[in-house]
Amino acid sequence: MSIQTLEQFITEQQTHFPQAKGDFTKLLQAISLAAKIVHREVNKAGLADILGKLGNTNIQGEEQQKLDVFADHYFMDALEKVGECCYLASEEHEDGINLLKKNKYAVGKYMVYFDPLDGSSNIDANVSVGTIFSIYRRVSSEGDLQHIDFTQTGRKQVAAGYIIYGSSTMLVYSTGTGVNGFTLDPSIGEFCLSHPELKIPESGKTYSVNESNYNQFSMAIKQYLQFCKEIDQDTNRPYSSRYIGSLVADFHRNLIQGGIFLYPDTFQYPNGKLRLMYECNPLAFIAEQAGGKASTGDQCILDIIPHKLHQRTSLIIGSKNMVEKVEQFILEYSNMEHSFA
């Protein structure tokens, strides 16, 4: 059986797409290198002093875990050293890093947004965690970065992906021509193609949501959750509830098996809680490329115009038919409210 590594796959893709350049290849290689380092540390976390809380909080007001800081450092370091980036932004920093200002010799044209370790609050419980990344190409042609560089919608991503550190470590990414998954073979230290041309089923049998927030959900979301629990053999209901509490892990399962993940707005977070630039946009890009869908409930995630780095949004993502069913509930309740207004 022939094995195709991530590097071989990227090189082959370049032969099919003349517009692909070696600089982009080096960027993905830098991401895979940092992922291997984080994989190593996650897998020996129980043996080292890198579990638990660091005692600090990040810009989101969330307690930083030791592995959060470790992962952030290595992804930042790898992406800066590769020399192809002009801007780096992480969940762990209040502001992005403009490499054009930091290094006057920098000539990189890629902007990378990432969540270095999503789901890190689950580390001590040995639950799967992950890294999410989003890559844009700067729009402005020369000089310093401009406003138009930072207000690109998710559709302008040139690539997006995630790494899941679980029973095996996988890197899943797309450059806008489908989705492919690579599993890390620790014996050779390489990501190898294991899930070519991933497609999410149009419908699934599971839903993922933090139901402890039920009383803060809109009536439309409450009714959809009741719909999920109803008995109906024609639509394979009731659906099974599967909520890990690690966005990458919940999304990855639904990508493989079909299903839906919901993190709608609540009274506490009226604009949603998840971050647009380094959580929702990259996963929405992957979902659409795999035949799925990602929505706020009334707007496609990839059509949102960002106005700040840590912008939050609600997220409904997964199998296309299931996401559209939620949108239908939201539209119906919206029409009802307007009719009584």
- Structural tokens at position 101: 């200002």
Residue 320, pLDDT > 90, answer: yes
| Max intra-chain CA distance, the chain | 65
Residue 340 predicted with pLDDT over 70: no
In the predicted model, what is the mean pLDDT of residues 274-302? 97
Tokens of 221: 């979301």
For 312-331, give the DSSP string. EE-EEEESHHHHHHHHHHHH
Using DSSP, state whether 262 is helix, strand or coil: strand
**pLDDT value at position 16?**
55
Q: Do the two domains 6-195 and 206-340 of this chain adopt the same fold?
A: no
pLDDT (mean) for 25-30: 91
- State residue 251's pLDDT score: 98
User: What does the pLDDT read at residue 61?
Assistant: 62
| Residue boundaries of the structural domains of the chain | 6-195, 206-340
**CATH architecture, range 6-195:** 2-Layer Sandwich (3.30)
Residue 7 has pLDDT above 70, yes or no: yes
> Which CATH number applies to 206-340: 3.40.190.80, 3.40.190.10, 3.30.390.10, 3.40.50.300?
3.40.190.80
Measured distance CA(148)–CA(338) in Å, rounded = 36
pLDDT tops 70 at residue 63: no
8-17, 20-29, 135-144, 258-267 — which one is most confidently predicted on average?
258-267
Q: What is the per-residue pLDDT across 70-114, written as a single tens digit (0 to 9) for each?
A: 999 999 999 999 999 999 999 999 999 999 988 766 778 999 999
Determine contact, residues 250/242, Cβ cutoff 8 Å: yes
Q: Mean pLDDT in the chain?
A: 90
The pLDDT value given to residue 104? 67
Mean pLDDT of 14-35: 78
Q: Does the pLDDT of residue 341 top 60, yes or no?
A: no
Q: Please give the residue that has the higher pLDDT: either 270 or 102.
A: 270
- By the 10 Å C-beta count (0-12 exposed, 13-18 middle, 19+ buried), 322 is classed as buried
Q: Model-level pTM? A: 0.92
| Confidence grade of residue 282 (pLDDT, cut at 50, 70, 90) | very high
Question: The tokens 């069913």 sit on which residue?
Answer: 325
Decide: 128 and 170 in contact? Cβ < 8 Å. no
Is the distance from CB of 56 to CB of 101 less than 8 angstroms? no
Chain center to CA of 255: 12
Whole-number Å distance between alpha carbons of 82 and 84: 6
Provide CB contacts within 8 A for 205, sequence distance 6+. 236, 239, 240, 257, 258, 259
CA distance 154 to 157: 6
